Amino acid sequence: MTEEAIWNLKKDNIESLLSKGERADGRKPDEYREFKIELGKYHHAEGSAFVTLGKTKIAAGVKMSVEKPYPDSPDNGNISVNAEMSPIASPSFESGPPREEAVELARVVDRGIREAKIVDVDKLCITPGEEVWTVFVDLRVLDYDGNLFDACTLAAIAALVNTKIPKYEDGKIIDGEYTGSLPLNGFSTMSTFVKIGNHIVVDPSLDEDKVMSARISVSVNEKGQLCAMQKGGIGTFTAEEIDSIITDRVFKAAKPLQKVIKDLPSK
Amino acid sequence: MAGKGNENVTYVDKSGKRLDGRKVDELRPIKVDVGVLDRADGSAYVEWGHNKAIAAVYGPREVLPKHMANPYKAIMRVYYRMAPFSVPEHKRPAPGRREIEISKVLSEALDAAVLTERFPQSQIEVHIDILDADAGTRITALTAASAALADAGIPMRDLVAGVSVGKAGGRVIADLTKAEEDASDAVDIPMAILPSTKEVVLLQMDGILTKEEWKDAHELAHKAAEKVYNLQKEALRKRYESAEAVEETEEIAETKEEVVE
Predicted local distance difference test score (pLDDT) of residue B233: 97
Is B132 an 8 Å CB contact of chain A?
yes
pLDDT per position as a tens digit, B210-252: 999 999 999 999 999 999 999 999 999 999 987 565 555 555 5
Predicted local distance difference test score (pLDDT) of residue A97: 87
Instruction: Supply the DSSP symbol for B23.
Output: -
Closest A-chain CA to B94: A97
Range of the domain at A93: 16-262
Predicted local distance difference test score (pLDDT) of residue B70: 95
Closest A-chain CA to B58: A91
Predicted local distance difference test score (pLDDT) of residue A225: 94
| A151, part of any domain | yes
| Separation of first and last alpha carbons in chain B | 63
Nearest to A217 by CA among A153, A129, A121: A153
**Higher per-residue confidence, B2 vs A229:** A229
Q: Do A63 and B89 touch (CB under 8 A)?
A: yes
E strand residue ranges, B138-260:
161-168, 171-174, 187-194, 199-203
H/E element holding A71? none
Longest CA pairwise span in chain B (Å): 75
Q: Do A65 and B81 touch (CB under 8 A)?
A: no
Predicted local distance difference test score (pLDDT) of residue B256: 46
Task: With H, G, I as helix, E, B as strand and everything else as coil, classify residue B73.
Answer: coil
For residues B88 and B135, is the Cβ–Cβ distance under 8 A? no
Instruction: Supply the DSSP symbol for A117.
Output: T
Distance from CA of A99 to the nearest CA of B (A): 13
> Region B31-48: what's the mean pLDDT?
98
Is 70 exceeded by the pLDDT of residue B1? Answer: no
Is B58 an 8 Å CB contact of chain A?
yes
Predicted local distance difference test score (pLDDT) of residue A8: 83
Chain A residues bordering chain B (beta-carbon distance below 8 Å): 41-45, 48, 55, 57, 59, 61-63, 65, 82, 84, 86-91, 95, 97-98, 136, 138, 140, 142-145, 173, 175
All residues at 6 or more sequence positions from A251 whose CB lies less than 8 Å from its CB, including other chains: A220, A224
All residues at 6 or more sequence positions from A172 whose CB lies less than 8 Å from its CB, including other chains: none
Rounded to whole angstroms, the Cα distance separating B134 from B123 reads: 31
For residues B174 and B26, is the Cβ–Cβ distance under 8 A? yes
A87 phi and psi angles, rounded to 5 deg:
-65, -10
Is 90 exceeded by the pLDDT of residue B259? Answer: no
Nearest to A113 by CA among A135, A141, A131: A135
Nearest to B23 by CA among B235, B181, B175: B175
For residues B151 and B43, is the Cβ–Cβ distance under 8 A? yes
The topology (CATH level 3) of B30-260 is Ribosomal Protein S5; domain 2 (3.30.230)
ipTM: 0.86
Predicted local distance difference test score (pLDDT) of residue A96: 86
| A165, part of any domain | yes
Rounded to whole angstroms, the Cα distance separating B86 from B52 reads: 9
Residues in chain B closer than 8 A to A61 (CB atoms): 83-86, 131
The number of C-alpha atoms within 13 Å of B54 and in the hemisphere containing its C-beta is: 23
Rounded to whole angstroms, the Cα distance separating A230 from B85 reads: 27
Residues in chain A closer than 8 A to B39 (CB atoms): 89-91, 143-145
Amino acid letter for position A131? E
pLDDT per position as a tens digit, B110-136: 999 999 999 999 999 999 999 999 999
Cα dist from A126 to A36, A74, A132, B115, B155, whole Å: 35, 10, 5, 57, 56
**pLDDT confidence band for B261 (50 / 70 / 90):** very low
All residues at 6 or more sequence positions from A5 whose CB lies less than 8 Å from its CB, including other chains: none
Q: Do B39 and A97 touch (CB under 8 A)?
A: no
All residues at 6 or more sequence positions from B4 whose CB lies less than 8 Å from its CB, including other chains: B182, B184
Q: Do B40 and A91 touch (CB under 8 A)?
A: yes
Predicted local distance difference test score (pLDDT) of residue A9: 86
Distance from CA of A52 to the nearest CA of B (A): 11
| A5, part of any domain | no
Please count the residue pairs, one from chain A and one from chain B, whose beta carbons lie less than 8 angstroms apart.
97
| A212, part of any domain | yes
Cα dist from A30 to A155, A192, A249, A250, whole Å: 21, 10, 7, 8
Extents of the domains making up chain B: 30-260
| A267, part of any domain | no
Strand partners, A125: A132
Residues in chain B closer than 8 A to A90 (CB atoms): 39
Is 50 exceeded by the pLDDT of residue B257? Answer: no
H/E element holding B257? helix B243-260
Residues in chain A closer than 8 A to B85 (CB atoms): 42, 44-45, 48, 61-63, 136, 138
For residues A264 and A189, is the Cβ–Cβ distance under 8 A? no
Residues in chain B: 261
In chain A, the number of structural domains is 1
Nearest to A42 among B52, B56, B81 (CB): B52
Q: How many helices (H) and strands (E) does chain B have?
A: 5, 9
Rounded to whole angstroms, the Cα distance separating B3 from A54 reads: 45
Q: pLDDT tens per residue, chain A (267 residues)?
A: 467 788 888 899 999 999 998 999 999 999 999 999 999 999 999 999 999 999 999 999 999 999 999 999 999 999 999 999 999 999 999 988 888 999 999 999 999 999 999 999 999 999 999 999 999 999 999 999 999 999 999 999 999 999 999 999 998 999 889 999 999 999 999 999 999 999 999 999 999 999 999 999 999 999 999 999 999 999 999 999 999 999 999 999 999 999 999 999 876
Residues in chain B closer than 8 A to A44 (CB atoms): 50, 85-88, 132-134
In CATH, what number is assigned to the domain containing residue A84?
Answer: 3.30.230.70
Predicted local distance difference test score (pLDDT) of residue B2: 64
